[in-house]
A and B are shown apart, each in its own frame.
Chain A
Amino acid sequence: MNVLSGGLVAVCAALAGAVLGCVPGVHAYHVLGLATVLMQAGVGVGEGVAPWLLTTCGLASGVAAFSVTAGLPAALLASPEESAAFAVYPARCLVREGRGPEAAAAMAAGALMAAGGVGGVMVLAGARLLPVVTRVLRPHQYWLVAAVTLFVLLMVCFAPTVDGGRASVRRRPILWAMGAGLVTFGLAGMLGCLLIFGPPYSAPSRLAGLVPAFVGLYGAPWLLRMLTGGVPAVPPQRQSGLPVSRRVLHGALAGVVGGGVAALLSGLSAGVGGWLASYATRTRDDAEVLAAQGAARMTFYLSAVVLLLGGGMPWLHRGTTVGAAWPPHAAWGYLPMMGGVASLLGAVVAAALLKRFAEVFVRVGSSMRAPAVPVLAGGCLLATAGVVGGWWGCAVAVVAAGIGLMPVCFGASRAACLAVVLVPATCDLAGWGRTMTAWFGVGG
């Protein structure tokens, strides 16, 4: 009875998660919140079914399906949620070559491989590994996140690479890039602190509250360049199946490691983990980067679900609405196993639906004239920000767009925008939350 009910809930959650992944502006934490509410409503339906089992299966499956299809709006509409922000640029490059569906498929393939890998590890060794990992790393969260923040600051501000790594030898562009990187890092960090410590709108979690900022920082620069003629018109898009190649596998492996690291360190997002992994493994191919991003997102959210339910992620605990149907302590040993199986199921269901969804996106895009595409994308961006934060969300997205344009204009690294999540996370872990809130003067 338990297994049947769990499987049924997993399939339903996978369908819901796959559809929600295609909606611009919906964040994984929206899915988590929605799934929890549904789980709580349905707890009394199955007589004799453990509520934590339904919660685990539903959350893991829904989030896995969401992670597979969430690449579609990011790749085809440049409308990223925070974990897909780094996928926008490589995806737009592929879209300009008429390979937009391939970009979404690469992200989905990475996510699918990660679901297989992470699900397998969870089933086989999750129950033994996770407690040890959380026990060792928990006292060191602060300095590990601080080290990541410092590294990003050093790289984007003091070792800039101008002109795409082609060894610019001129002095002035490097100085401009350094200055722009520093200013962008500072402004993005301030914006992040404002949104985390004194948000003008309510959001299901702290990271979800940052979605308008990510939309502005990563989505809007491309849109503005397209509207001003800096980017050529979008050609017709060719359909593509799931690309399974050595490069995609390489990217997926890197993404799994990066997403896992990000999940274990409070405050880091899936995008940061994927970026670090791509940086570490010298990934340059677009499909490889996208696969790494997809895999990092899947790993991050699956680990987050398990750690969230297992009580290992204080960052999420403080922010999310998931507070009921916690598994009892005795069930923690089974939790990674159930989560692993459900996530595999959810990822497979979503992958089966992906091509249909991509066809819809391409059909809508191809039925419009060229000027309508950026207008539609802009509408999606504003809708994304509006769904999360209303008018305040739109205002935040506009401000973030101004900040996000600076690296584009001065040749700095767009990784400087990561300060929007890294700086507040470091400040929070350092215990400066109240001080920061008082500085900004917007919270209590």
Chain B
Amino acid sequence: MDALRGGARVNNLSHFAVGVTVASCFPGAVRAAVAGNPAYMLLGGVCGVLPNILDRSSLSAPREIDVSVVLDPSRPDAATLADGFAFAVWRAVAAGTPVRVALCSVPANRQTWQRYTIRLDVRGCAVRAHLGPVVDAAGAAVRSPLHGTRGKAGASLPRGVRLGCAATTTVGVGAGAHFLVAPEEDGGARIRAVHPHRGCFHRWLPAGAVAVMLGFGVDLMAGAIAGLVTLTHALADGYVPAWVARRIAVREGAGSQRTDAPAGPAWPVVLCLWACGVVTWANLARALPGGAGMTLMQTLALAVGVPLGAIRLARYPWERRVRLRLPRTVRALRRWRD
């Protein structure tokens, strides 16, 4: 859940692979590809990355940043962070217009970054900044902050600030974190996290419309492929589960997001590519004259069960330290049985 909450999204290669996999589920598309017409397969791949491409290449992502919070890597100061963020919120409230604020990552040198954390304390009407260690590209701590730097600081926020994002944001490697501070009618403001590269095409309608038009421009099957792939983009992106996780986290008041890695951890990508590879393989094998394909259950077991089992095994020593809590229903059943 933490990974989803922190943006466990997959990258463009995975989106492309998901698109090709969806296309390979259409036997007509596989037959056409074998016959030398890869248009359906390529269309699936293109539609898979279409929202990302449209947002990046058309520059539709809202790029106007009103306040950029930048640290001097040679003399990092937590007060700069807290004051900068608080300034953005106060400005939004005073001017009555939305303010986009960017917490920029701080490259200490070519391969290390100064990590820092911003915590929005809504009840205490304050923003607190905390300097972490200098981390490498993998997020591992390399050294502590420079001697003599101010590691902790706070600044006051106006009353009535509400959170539409995680309360704690950690910025390390990568693009940093972007927020939109929108003033509200009661004099407060709502702070929500926004993706640095996502714009209007990541909302459902424009990307879907473009993809379906692109598909139906070829024929009916291409249109169906394009529509399905656009739907799966959001699912593969982890956007829907991440949204659910974020809502839960915000309601509980203990949300946190990390932008330590530029696009999150590697395992969702590996998982996604493995599943895509297995499903595509099964579809291609099924299309052979001999029909040497796997059954649906075998495919699902190999695509989902094997990687989940591997992740479970890989994470077992870490999870052993966590106290195991059974679901409430199971505990109630056990009490009833006893």
Contacts and interface: CB of A to CB of B under 8 A. Distances in A.
Contacts of B11: 279-280, 282
B65 interface: yes
Given A160-B56, A281-B266, A285-B138, A151 B16 contact: yes
A7 to B, nearest CB: 36
Nearest to B63: A169
A8 interface: no
A159 B41 contact: no
B140 to A, nearest CB: 9
A155 B42 contact: no
A136 interface: yes
Contacts of A143: 33, 38, 41-42
A433 to B, nearest CB: 14
A166 B263 CA distance: 11
B13 interface: yes
B298 to A, nearest CB: 14
A150 B34 contact: no
Interface string B266-298: 100110010000000100110010001000000
Contacts of A158: 53, 56-57
B137 interface: yes
Contacts of A132: 292
A284 B269 contact: no
A426 B199 CA distance: 33
Contact of A147 (B45, B137, B284): B45
A402 B224 CA distance: 44
Nearest to B49: A154
Given A282-B263, A284-B173, A285-B136, 19 more contacts: A93-B111, A139-B288, A142-B38, A143-B38, A154-B49, A155-B12, A158-B56, A159-B56, A165-B175, A166-B174, A166-B176, A169-B63, A169-B102, A170-B63, A174-B59, A282-B262, A282-B269, A285-B138, A288-B138
B242 interface: no
Interface string B122-150: 00000000000000111000000000000
Interface residues of B, number: 51
A135 interface: yes
Given A136-B284, A146-B42, A282-B11, A166 B107 contact: yes
B22 interface: no
B206 interface: no
A171 interface: yes
Interface string B222-266: 000000000000000000000000000000000000000111111
Interface in B1-32: 11-14, 16, 20
Contacts of B12: 151, 154-155, 159
Contacts of A165: 174-175, 262
A282 B20 CA distance: 21
A97 to B, nearest CB: 9
